[in-house]
Amino acid sequence: MQNFGRVMMALAVDVTRFEGVPMAPPDPILGVSETFKADTNDLKLNLGVGAYRTEELQPYVLNVVKKAEKLMLEKGENKEVATLQSLSGTGSLRLAAAFIQRYFPEAKVLISSPTWGNHKNIFNDARVPWSEYRYYDPKTVGLDFEGMIADIEAAPEGSFVLLHGCAHNPTGIDPTPEQWEKIADVIQEKKHMPFFDVAYQGFASGSLDEDAFSVRLFVKRGLEVFVAQSYSKNLGLYAERIGAINVVCSAPEVADRVKSQLKRLARPMYSNPPIHGARIVANVVGDPTMFGEWKQEMEEMAGRIKNVRQKLYDSLSAKDKSGKDWSFILRQIGMFSYTGLNKTQSDNMTDKWHVYMTKDGRISLAGLSLAKCDYLADAIIDSFHNVN
Asked if residues 197 and 243 have their Cβ atoms less than 8 Å apart, the reply is no
- Looking at 144, 151, 174, 197, which residue is catalytic? 197
- Looking at 67, 233, 311, 359, which residue is catalytic? 233
Q: What are phi and psi of 204, to 5 degrees?
A: -80, -55
Cβ-in-10-Å burial (0-12, 13-18, 19+) of 327 comes to exposed
Asked if residues 243 and 198 have their Cβ atoms less than 8 Å apart, the reply is no
Closest of 357, 316, 230 to residue 281, by C-alpha: 230
Cα dist. 67→57, 246, 293 in Å? Answer: 23, 26, 10
Radius of gyration of the chain, Cα coordinates, nearest whole angstrom: 23
> In the annotation, is 197 catalytic?
yes
> In the annotation, is 326 catalytic?
no
> In the annotation, is 233 catalytic?
yes
- Looking at 108, 116, 211, 353, which residue is catalytic? 116
| Angle formed at CA 96 by CA 92 and CA 99, multiple of 5 degrees | 145
Q: Say how far apart CA 170 and CA 336 lie, in whole Å.
A: 6
Our CA dihedral for 347, 349, 351, 356, rounded to 10 degrees, sits at -90
Asked if residues 97 and 107 have their Cβ atoms less than 8 Å apart, the reply is no
- Active-site residues, by number, are 116, 197, 233
